[in-house]
Chains A and B, each alone.
Chain A
Amino acid sequence: MTDTSSPSDANVTVRTRLDQIPTSATRAWLAGAVLLILPEVGALIQFAASALPLGETAVAAADRIPVLLSRERIPNQGTLVPGEGWEGTFLGLSPARAWGLRVGLIYLYGALCLYWIWRGYLLYRNRYRTASWTPFDDVVSRFRGHRWGQFGLLVVLAFLILAVFAPALGPTTLEQNAIDPYSYELDYYDDDTGDIETITVGAANTDTTSQGIEGRNVGPLTYDQYDRFHPFGTLPSGQDLFTQVALGARVSLFIGLLAITISGVVATSLALISAYYGGLVDLAIVLVSDATQSLPQLLVVILLSVVLSQTWLAGLYSGGVLLALIFALTGWPSLWRAVRGPALQVSERTWVDAADSYGLAPKTTMRRHILPYIVGYLMVYASMSLGGIIIGVSGLSFLGLGISSPTPEWGRLVDVGQPLLTTMSWHIAVLPGTLIVIVVTGFNALGDGVRDAIDAETDLSSEEETSAAASGAGG
């Protein structure tokens, strides 16, 4: 920036500086935003209409706006008529291809959105940021050379897209699949009558079960007798597994993010307070955190989820909100321990003293002069604990606690598939479990990458603590 010192000039300077910047790149970037919003504009308006109290007509009107990347636009359910090919699917493609196309397009769309955000950051960095260099640039460039961390990032982003677009990714909807299958119908070509027949989805499901015996199994990447395509096969109840898995990703992500956000905020505030004040305040927080950690996490989670199971809290999102709160309540000490050390180190620096002598309020000193230095560490541990929470939630659901039916959850799918594991219906327990392993590995790898990127040389000195965080709930 120019050498202005008085605050009254600042506005003018920013104005003139903004005027000097060539706007072509910015305009192109903004045009990208419009292009990216277009395919999903209907979904956004529908979401807004259902979230805001606008009344029935507005919701109905919003529902008529086409959404480009949706099941309705690219349908994958159709009827195979001999001699005529597929009817009802997108462009007459086979259901597998139509579904694959939709998934591919959605992932392409997600990737474009992420690329757009990345371009935005670069634009800001090159054109608008006043400083020509900040330490964060080095972190970014170190991360760009960290293959393992990038692998983690890729997995995490794929998981994010799966969770965000879950309803459109599944071959069928949760409503049709599990909640109310007898209110929906599907057409199929019956070989015996030689004609197109209609059957309810519920009745069809009873014929497409996976129960581990010949004739009663619909494996991964196969069609069932009603021409429905099942990327991951079916459940013992005949429901489509992939639909459940995609929506289960949403539940896991929701619980993980909510829990980690709450415990992150608590841990950071307490770390700042204990680093800034030290002494007795620090000791008190140490005691409370030790006490929280002395209760084995998984057991407290079981205890609380049983005790609170009858309250209104347990009704929110099939118990997801309650689970997130419980994990936040039991998980903050490990995060706090991780950021307390760096916070203590920073609080001993001279600039904190200087800020104090300058007369800044303690809150301001903590926020402006200590917090920025510990955010990176927080990210590392948050990423690793998130994997632990995902494992913990699925472990609870596996035990029959946690998320209640009909909201899908990966752990419950493993539980359902367990008795059939040694039969030909192995896919029910194996696929969701494999996904858990991949996603948790991804979060751990991302954490590793961010750690190395933040702190290339000192290596944070406490690999043991990160590894403890990673296996978090021990589920």
Chain B
Amino acid sequence: MNRLIYLFRRLLMSIPVVWLGVTATFLIIRVGPLNPAAAIVGPVNSAQAQERLDRIEEQLGLNDPIHIQYGEYLVDLVTFDLGQSWVLYPGQDTVALLAQFGPRTIWLGLWAVLIPIFIGIPLGIYAGLNVNTNRDYLASITGIVWRAMPNFWLAVILLALLSRTDALFFGSGWESFIIKTDLIGAPDLSALGTPEGFIIATKQILPAAFVLGSASMGNELRLSRTAVLEIINEDFIDTARAVGVSRWRLIGKHVLRNALIPLIPVVTSEAYLLVGGSVLVEVVFGINGIGTLFFDAMTSGDLPLAGSLMFVFILLTVSINIAQDLLYTLIDPRIGYAERR
């Protein structure tokens, strides 16, 4: 019951946050120095262009007083009427575009969350169990450097390396390893149900997901190392060891289970970073997901589309935040409902 009230309060709190966020977006796009209609039309050097400019201004409602524009904008967002694209995919509905581009970004994000969990956390635990050995230092320094590496640069380097791996991957090179795929390009998600389609789609997304998850991987490595270090000095570990619990059982049952608790919320908060990071990675790897859609919309002057996408991003980050706070309370009931922001 308490949890329901907490969820309700958390949702209530998020309304002004979303409102402030969309208002900021509105101000940037409608009140900012760049006229959306002019951005769509481009240079006005003929009567035709002028006529088109006037028509688009009329359609977008740019001639109305600003408070009426604002009201209409809010109503549109609440009813999830996200408008259409003007330049990039003229006339296409934004929701349809989202449905078309979204799955690829979600597929990318999913793997970008999974890869760090399966590489970063085991490495961190390994480092924590072998603390102050050379192996520990190697793992820790890798994590630190990994975290400092810009995604776009890592992507560029990884692409270059993978395109020259003819001798590696059992002599087949990355592109024809297991199943033939291209290095750059979007994964084909239509055949995800079949084993072959699944493997192709996964292999296609792996390098990009690896890059996108790199910062998280470094973080999770560091944090799981610290968590293991904290647990391993607890008295109950000594007791278990004294009682004669085997090493693997000790690690599996007593160390890991406790060390993983503080890590779960960290993983969700990584998801938050992925939303913004996907733009660069998608552009470099040629994956036409939502990140690329936003970037192309911005560079081609499709401001209405970009604004609507921003609204979707705001909803996404706010819901991730709420989910994360709920997870906190589920995992660790000691955390007060009132104190979490």
- Asked if A and B are interacting partners, one says yes
Chain A positions 437 through 475: 1 when the CB is less than 8 Å from some CB of chain B, otherwise 0: 110110011000000000000000001100110110111
Whether A422 contacts B160 by the Cβ 8 Å rule is: yes
Interface segment, one of B68-76, B88-96, B231-239, B312-320: B312-320
Assess the B160–A421 pair: CB atoms within 8 A: yes
- Contacting residue for B28 out of A304, A398, A421, A440, CB 8 A: A304
Contact of A475 among B13, B14, B151, B163 (CB under 8 A): B151
List residues of chain A with CB within 8 A of the CB of B18: 291, 294
Q: Are B34 and A307 in contact (CB under 8 A)?
A: yes
Q: What residues of A have a CB within 8 angstroms of the CB of B32 in the complex?
A: 307-308
- State whether A437 and B317 are in contact (beta carbons under 8 Å apart), knowing that A307-B34, A467-B223 are contacts in the complex: no
Selected contact of A302 from candidates B33, B144, B274, B298, CB within 8 Å = B298
Once A and B bind, how many residue pairs between them come within 8 Å at the CB atom? Answer: 172
Task: State whether the Cβ of A160 lies closer than 8 Å to any Cβ in chain B.
Answer: no
Q: Is B44's CB within 8 Å of the partner chain A?
A: no
Residue of B nearest to A423 (CB): B160
Report the Cα distance A474→B18, complex, angstroms.
22
Q: Is B21 an interface residue (CB 8 A)?
A: yes
- Give CA–CA (A411, B151) in the complex, Å: 11
Contact partner of B273 among A302, A430, A433, A471, CB < 8 A?
A: A471
Q: How many Å lie between the Cα of A86 and that of B279 in the bound state?
A: 51
Interface-forming stretch among A19-27, A124-132, A362-370, A387-395? A387-395
The listed residue (A293, A303, A311, A437) touching B33 by CB distance below 8 A is A311
Give A441 to B222 CA distance when docked, in angstroms: 14
Q: Taking the complex as formed, is A261 at the interface, i.e. its CB lies under 8 A from any CB of chain B? A: no
Name the interface residues of B149-186: CB closer than 8 Å to any CB of A.
Answer: 149-153, 156-157, 159-160, 163-164
Give per-residue flags for B207-249: 1 if the beta carbon is below 8 A from chain A beta carbons, else 0.
0000000010011001100100000000000000000000000
B100: Cβ under 8 A from any A Cβ? no
Residues in B with CB closer than 8 Å to A43 are: none
How far, in angstroms, from A298 to B276 measured CA to CA in the complex?
A: 6
Q: Given A287-B16, A414-B156, A444 and B223 touching (CB < 8 A)? A: no
Within 21-46 of B, Cβ neighbours of A (below 8 Å) are at 21, 24-25, 28-29, 32-34
A285 to chain B, nearest CB (A): 11
Cα distance A120–B94 in the bound complex, in angstroms: 63
Chain A 390-412 against B: per-residue CB contact (8 Å), 1 yes, 0 no? 01001100111100000000010
Determine the residue in chain B with the shortest Cβ distance to A390.
B150
Residue in contact with B313 in the complex, picked from A292, A295, A436, A475, CB distance below 8 Å? A295
Interface centre among B150, B219, B295, B306 (most CB of A within 10 A): B150
Query: What is the CA–CA distance of A401 and B279 in the complex, to the nearest angstrom?
Result: 13
Given contacts A286-B341, A475-B151, contact A302 B145 (CB under 8 A): no
Tell me if B145 and A411 are in contact (CB < 8 A). Answer: no
Contact among A294, A309, A437, A440 with B21 in the assembled complex (CB-CB below 8 Å)? A294
B299 contacts A306, C-beta separation under 8 Å:
yes
Query: A201 to nearest B CB, angstroms?
Result: 30
List B contacts of A180 (CB < 8 A).
Answer: none
Which listed residue (A291, A297, A433, A473) contacts B24, Cβ 8 A? A291
CB distance from B119 to the nearest CB of A (A): 16
Q: Cβ of B20 and Cβ of A395 under 8 Å apart?
A: no
A interface, over-half SS: helix
Closest A-B pairs by Cβ, 7 of them: A291-B20, A296-B276, A433-B153, A440-B148, A474-B277, A298-B276, A421-B160
Interface residues in chain A, defined as those with a beta carbon under 8 Å from any beta carbon in chain B: 286-288, 290-300, 302-304, 306-311, 387, 391, 394-395, 398-401, 411, 414, 418, 421-422, 426, 429-430, 433, 436-438, 440-441, 444-445, 463-464, 467-468, 470-471, 473-475
- Chain B positions within 8 Å of A, measured between CB atoms, are 13-14, 16-21, 24-25, 28-29, 32-34, 144-145, 147-153, 156-157, 159-160, 163-164, 215, 218-219, 222-223, 226, 262, 266, 269, 273-277, 279-280, 283, 294-295, 298-299, 303, 306, 310, 313-314, 317-318, 321, 341
In the complex, besides A290-B341, A471-B273, 19 extra interface pairs with C-beta distance below 8 angstroms are A294-B317, A296-B275, A298-B276, A298-B280, A299-B310, A302-B279, A303-B29, A307-B33, A307-B34, A309-B34, A394-B150, A399-B280, A429-B156, A436-B148, A436-B153, A437-B148, A440-B150, A444-B144, A474-B274
Chain A to chain B contacts (Cβ below 8 Å), 21 pairs = A294-B318, A295-B21, A298-B277, A298-B279, A299-B310, A299-B313, A306-B298, A307-B28, A307-B29, A308-B34, A310-B33, A398-B153, A399-B283, A414-B153, A421-B157, A426-B160, A429-B157, A464-B269, A470-B147, A474-B274, A475-B152
